[in-house]
Amino acid sequence: MNVFSYIIQLGASVMMPILFTLIGLIIGMKFGKSLKSGLYVGVGFVGLGIVTSLLTTNFNAPLSNISELYQLQLNIFDMGWPAAAAVAYNTAVGALVIPVCLGVNLLMLLTKTTRTVNIDLWNYWHFAFIGAVAYFVMGESLFWGYFAAIICYIITLVSADLIAGKFHRYYENLDTISIPQPFCLSFVPFAIVIDKVLNLIPGFNKLDIDAEGLKKKFGVLGEPLVLGVIVGLLIGVFAHQNLKGILFLGITMGAVMELIPRITKLFIDGLMPISEKTKELIDKRFHGRKIFIGMSPALVIGHPTTLVVSLLLIPTALVVAVILPGNQFLPLASLAGMFYLFPLVLPITNGNVVKTYLIGLVAIVIGLYFVTDMAPDFTMAANEVYKATGDSAAKIPEGFDGGALDFASSLFGWTIYKLTCYVKYVGPTVLVVLTLGMMLYNRRQIIADESQSL
């Protein structure tokens, strides 16, 4: 437990370069090339952290001002992903979630129930989080904590396989990659259903505008950089900032929109040599069997459509949170994670800005209710972790409950939490049957695909 806790505390920017260097050496790459790949990934995480902090550091105060100025009475404090990760890893479940889940992954590869090798170790906190909440709700039960985490892990691996074909067709040069991150995958069901419904509306296809089409239609106003500046300026105006503050927020938001695609290129530069070598090794050792490398969605969040829709949804999420009946959560710190909602939605909507925005809107509305519903148990878990460890990330201000859009708002997280903790016997049974069914279906797909390729 101490070993894995120490590794996690290194952070993604340190842990991932070490991991990728080791993976490169294991698959036969030279040390220098392995190290360079690992460092590119590490630098990418550093850059992404800097850009994310630009949003949280500079926009939290203006957004809080908006809440006070317009007397918004929402009593669930947005803790952001650091609190969720602190709850996740500072428990008995979180401490061993990596080796336990890697063992499950290996077993699934051997039984051909998945094609994905999930090396996105940093994002294992998502599985640990849902396990940690179940652990506390069920009276500090390790059994139920690991049950929830493993169920989430298996469903995530299978879902990553099932969407991989569309992912490969949409994103170029990533045909050996899958995205086994449950927050991203949770929005795929919404995307499939809403996309089909929208296709039934006569004339809707005429609104088929991707990010490039937006640029052509609106000229410079369709550029993510310019849209970012406009949204930043508007937030400054509504927060009653002075002229200097308004202009600063505009430039800062524009900088975020421009820097994210440049930073995500570092992830691709670091990953591609390892991906190509892995494909070569798999072709040689597994006779052409398809194996996907499970990676962070940070690889593709720089896509123009993701940037544009995320930007439009940030002010939308604030308005929706205020007017939504029964909602008690105002997203502030979590808004930096908005970009991660769309990496696996775009392959379904084919980058259509209008469809993607509507899917995001539905996901946010439902997600706010999920966060509101989970808040009491999130708060209990965070308080227990803070008492035991003193970790400031888990400290919730007095008079508030705690919450976060990051994973607490996802379909996977909320459903597994609810069925495990509040639907006795029937809920866990449903989860086991669903999980086994998905595994068997995926195995059938894998075997059929391998038979065709022989």
122: tokens are 């940093």
142: confidence class by pLDDT, cuts 50, 70, 90: very high
Q: What is the pLDDT of residue 283?
A: 66
Structure confidence at residue 368 (pLDDT)? 94
CA torsion sign for 207, 213, 263, 297 is: positive
Name the packing angle between helices 426-453 and 142-170 (round to 10°).
40
pLDDT confidence of residue 222: 58
Residue 423, pLDDT > 90, answer: yes
* Whether residue 433 has pLDDT greater than 70: yes
Give the CA-trace dihedral at 34, 165, 223, 356, to 10 degrees: -130
* pLDDT at residue 286, as a whole number: 63
pLDDT over threshold 90, residue 95 = no
Query: How far, in Å, CA of 141 to CA of 212, rounded?
Result: 51
Instruction: Tell me the sheet residues that pair with 117.
Output: 293
- The 10s digit of each residue's pLDDT in 436-451 is 999 999 999 999 988 8
Per-residue pLDDT tens over the stretch 266-301: 877 887 787 777 767 766 766 667 889 898 888 888
Helix (H, G, I), strand (E, B) or coil at 301: coil
What is the C-alpha separation between 203 and 304, in angstroms, rounded? 25
Residues 6+ apart with CB under 8 A from 233: 246, 247, 249, 250
3-state secondary structure of 294: strand
Nearest C-alpha neighbor of 101 from the set 83, 85, 117: 117
- Give the mean pLDDT of 135-161: 95
- The average pLDDT across 304-330 equals 87
Confidence bin at 217 (pLDDT 50/70/90): low
Residue 260 clears pLDDT 80, i.e. is over it: no
**What average pLDDT does range 375-398 have in this prediction?**
84
The pLDDT of residue 12: 63
Closest CA to 62 of 249, 313, 329, 338: 249
Determine the pLDDT at residue 136.
94
pLDDT of residue 6: 65
Contact 387, 139 (CB under 8 A): no
The whole-angstrom separation of Cα 296 and Cα 48 is 12
| Distance (Å, whole) CA 101 – CA 128 | 10
Contacts of 15 (CB under 8 A, 6+ apart): 7, 8, 121, 122
58: three-class secondary structure by DSSP: helix
Could you tell me the pTM of the whole model?
Answer: 0.84
The pLDDT of residue 238 is 82
340 to each of 183, 256, 352, how far by Cα in Å?
8, 14, 17
Number of Cβ within 10 Å of residue 415's Cβ equals: 20
Q: Which helix (H) or strand (E) holds 178?
A: strand 177-178
**Residue whose C-alpha is closest to residue 48's, from 263, 253, 254:** 263
How confident is the model at residue 83, as a pLDDT? 76
Residues of the chain above pLDDT 70, percent: 90
- Per-residue pLDDT, averaged over 125-146, amounts to 93
pLDDT in tens, 30-81: 899 888 888 888 888 788 778 777 776 787 778 777 767 666 667 887 887 7
| Residue 213 pLDDT class (50, 70, 90 cuts) | low
Looking at every residue in the chain, the average pLDDT score rounds to 84
Burial annotation 267-288 (CB, 10 A radius, 16+ → b, else e): bbebbbbbbebbeeebeeeeee
